[in-house]
A and B are shown apart, each in its own frame.
Chain A
Amino acid sequence: MLDFGSWGEAVKASLVSGLNAAAQEVERAAKEKAPVRRIFRGRRRSIRFKTAAEVEADRPFIAQLGLAPQFLALPSMRRPRRASSFGRVYSTQSSDINRAYPGMRAAAMRGGQPTSPGRLRSAAASNLLTGRGRYEVSSGRAFFRTGPNSGTVGGRLRGEIYTEPASTGGVAVARVISPTPYAKYQEFGTRRHPAQPFLRPALAESQNAISARMREALAEGVKSPLPSSGHIVVTVKA
């Protein structure tokens, strides 16, 4: 007889680990597919606001050009009377395009509304944002904190998706959860809003990745060393 107990446990642990890896693949796919509110005009992945450090670095350059002073970020700066240049707009290929306006970030760290909703009333900012975008940014309603000192405007649905890993006891179930209250309305739609499914398509399109992860996990688990001690019993029937 050979005792497969410990070997079986190793295989099971490996399969659970593979299941958790597969669930993370589904989570990643769901985050890619989760709809994000559109607040910028034009191509969604082409514009971001400058950070406060970039504004400071550009200030001498802009002064040399004779442009109006920047009103970004610093509460002490006065609001310009006319629509001034918003400053250079950087193109980025980063997926995190909704960089918080610096004033909004400061407001979010304080946990409240922006100090001056009118701060965005510039022609340049108006051109960058849609009507919905101006409301969302000025009200702070859609601000989503992604870290102690960072955040985005929008992206809450995507940011809150997480994986609940499977346990090794009993039946192993890994879950990908979207806890946002309006997630079900996005997934299934309502009378007034068409459905924008993101969880079920992520699962459906990750089947190959899930199979691959489970195969890898099984192969890894089976490689575990078999128990080296044991004995063979031979029975002879008379």
Chain B
Amino acid sequence: MSTSAPIKRAIVQKLRATPALVAAIAGGIHEGIAPRKVEYPFIVYQLVSSPYVYDWTGAMLQTTFDVYTFAVNPVEANNLDALITGALNEAVLSVDGQTNLLCRRVADLPTGPDVDAAGRRIYQVGGSYAIWTEQ
């Protein structure tokens, strides 16, 4: 029985395999929260839920991940979000020990502009992705 950890690795690998995205994000990819002095823009991913679904044939993991970008201007944030969507939506992820059934964007995140510790106005744009895998 595997967990959601290989799925996280697969997401990061998929994002890093997109040259346009890697070139655009100066601050890298972080899980949960980025350190304070990270350069903008950067990407953050977060596991939202990961229930196991059992049937007579085996187990399935239905995970939901939030992947969003922080940038200092909204155009850049939206462009990066579009690149993320292009990389992950309907993508075939290579998950260790599991068979990827689907990877699909299911919702936009309703987040608005914020102010960081340095007083800069920043924009958080992203979406939720449903990733189902078979054990």
Contact = CB atoms under 8 A, between A and B. Distances in A.
Interface residues of A, number: 15
A55 B111 CA distance: 47
Contacts of B109: 188
Contact of B66 (A188, A191, A207): A188
A95 interface: no
Nearest to A204: B49
A189 B33 contact: yes
Contact of B64 (A191, A192, A200): A200
Interface of A: 184, 188-195, 197, 200-201, 204-205, 207
Contacts of A189: 32-33, 44, 46, 66
Contacts of B32: 189, 194-195
A200 to B, nearest CB: 5
Nearest to A197: B48
Ranked 3 nearest A-B pairs via Cβ: A204-B49, A201-B49, A194-B33
B48 A191 contact: no
A205 B116 contact: no
Given A204-B62, A204-B64, A191 B124 contact: yes
Contacts of B70: 191
Given A189-B66, A194-B32, A204-B48, 16 more contacts: A184-B110, A184-B111, A188-B110, A188-B111, A189-B46, A191-B117, A191-B124, A192-B116, A194-B46, A195-B66, A197-B46, A197-B49, A200-B64, A205-B51, A207-B51, A207-B53
Contacts of B110: 184, 188
A205 B117 contact: no
